[in-house]
A and B are shown apart, each in its own frame.
Chain A
Amino acid sequence: MPGGRLARWAATVPMAGLALATIYPLVFTANVAMKTRRDYVLDRFAPAGGLRWDNIAEAWTGAGMGRYFVNSFVVVACAVALLLLLGSMAGFALARLRFRGSSMIFLGCLAGLFIPFQVIMVPLTRVMADSGLVDTYPGLILAYVAQYLPFTVFLMTSHYRTIPAEIVDAARIDGNSVYGVYRRIMLPLGVPALLSVGILDALFCWNDVLIALLMMPSPEHRTLMIGVNALRGQYSGDIPTFASGVLIAAVPVLMIYLFLQRQIADGVTAGSTKG
């Protein structure tokens, strides 16, 4: 390897500093969430005495974060299930079945990938409003499915292209229908990709602000991220409770990250190596 020992050790100092800068903001927030308001005002940096759940409880029930949490959970679960179903169906057909128009359909999906939400948000909101879907759960779920479907189809197609065509042919000769091949062969063989794409889709939907803001105007339909923003105004004088709300919204994502880091990184890089 080029670069002497010294250079590599010298790089360690800024890299460790950066690692600290990456972790500290979250540690600070978690620490604040465990403090009483009085402790926070007196010294915001001192370590909290221990785990205190009062602020978390206040954010969960008093500020309604519990309700927003359930809203987010239901919407994300439905959206991801639909994305994986539709994405794997289309991916299988585009990768392993020969039919007229398949390359054009694939290009259409790719085109969908390159349209940022900001560019279509005004007409999309209007289309949804005209269909009576604004401020309904199916509407928000559909908006998420539409937003992340091109990505899901693209990754599922590239995954299914790595599965030998002979497997499909053999299954057909054994008397399976196309749907049988999908259900009995492609769906099980797609599990690694479905897991990795599903986690990314879930993160995207869970973390979204803009789509939820446009599709769910009423306060009782808020998702967790919109709830965090509402909390900011409501608890501007009670920072520990605010920090608790932030923690409630961040913890599920951090859990997913701790256990499924590998799959997340695979999904992120899939586009760069296959594109």
Chain B
Amino acid sequence: MRIAEPSSSALAERLAPYVLVAPAVLIIVALRLWPLALGVNFSFTGDGDLNGTPVGLGNYLELAADPLFRVSLRNVGLLVLLLPVAVAIPGLLATFIYLRVPGHRVYRSVYFFPAVLSPVIVGAIFNLMLGYDGPLNSLLGMVGAGPVDWLGDPGIAMFTVVGVHVWATFGMALVVFLAGFSTLDSSLLDAARVDGASLRQSIWHVIIPSLTRTIQFVFVTTMIGMLTSMFGLLFVMTSGGPEGATYLPEYYIWHQQGQLNRPALASAASTVLFVVMLVVGLLQITLLRRAGRQD
């Protein structure tokens, strides 16, 4: 017994790291990595009577022909185009807060607070704000502009939803920018001021080149946020309407899976979304790296 005891406890000690990581690894593999493989595989099989039968690219062809899915991809394109705006707003605000505009401490806390609210709550609040005789239209009425059908006009609804999303999330990016600013060498800015640089020149030649990594991070996370956390807003504010104008891939996937019972088709849409996110993400990193080198 005396000899066996130390060796068995030594074995226990050697196994201990594996015991500590095992639950986390099991859960991540079983409920994240494995479903990813399963879903890609699943997207090449049929729905309904064809459940489990290979259909080749059938689902992907159906997606390509589905006007709703095409609208959702076009809306992704719109989001990518609006991305620089969604990054520039918090970037500029963070710059002013960093430069200690009067009341900068208050702004930081105020701007960040919508970021902690659920998209459902934000959507519900804005359902009230954007109503036909709600506060925003009343404000427009005061300056003589006509009431706008923010969520009912197919040409406007998507911009409205994106606007609300930016309202709710710019504080997040702002805080990340401020963390980047705290690593900025302030002597560079002082030197720029001594040399007589204007604010715009300082931003362009000192701040942006020094914060390349932060800007990259904000670009990628803002894009991921736009593509994966607007479901709650769509769910509460538009249900994809009017006339499908506010469909995004995540809403399409949920609708096909949950409402229309087409899980295999939904899986194909998931795979497309994943590829789109990878491509856009990698493209952004490459472009921003190149831009960073030119400076």
The residues of A with any CB-CB pair to B shorter than 8 Å are 1-3, 7-9, 11-12, 15-16, 18-19, 21-26, 28-29, 32, 44-45, 86-87, 89-90, 92-94, 97, 99, 102, 105, 108-109, 111-112, 115-127, 142-143, 145-146, 149-150, 153, 177-179, 182, 203, 206-210, 213-214, 225, 228-229, 232, 239, 242-243, 246, 249-250, 253-254, 256-257, 261, 264-265, 268-269, 271-273, 275
Contacts and interface: CB of A to CB of B under 8 A. Distances in A.
Contacts of A273: 179-180, 183
Given A11-B101, A93-B20, A127-B31, 18 more contacts: A15-B107, A16-B103, A93-B16, A97-B20, A99-B17, A108-B25, A111-B33, A116-B277, A120-B270, A121-B254, A146-B28, A149-B24, A177-B12, A209-B119, A232-B236, A249-B118, A253-B118, A272-B176
A225 B172 CA distance: 21
Interface stretch (B62-70, B92-100, B147-155, B287-295): B92-100
Contacts, number: 285
Interface of B: 9, 12-14, 16-18, 20-21, 23-25, 27-36, 38-39, 42, 93, 96, 99-103, 106-107, 109-121, 124-129, 133-135, 138, 167, 171-172, 175-176, 178-180, 183, 189-190, 192-193, 197-199, 201-202, 214, 217-218, 221, 224, 227-228, 231-232, 235-236, 249-250, 253-254, 257-258, 263, 266-267, 270-271, 273-274, 277
B164 to A, nearest CB: 10
What is the predominant secondary structure among interface residues of chain A facing chain B?
helix
B17 A112 contact: no
Contact of A1 (B99, B201, B236): B99
Given A229-B236, A246-B121, A149 B271 contact: no
The 5 closest A-B pairs by CB, nearest first: A207-B118, A146-B31, A178-B16, A269-B179, A3-B199
A267 B199 CA distance: 31
B128 A213 contact: no
Contact of B199 (A2, A97, A203, A271): A2
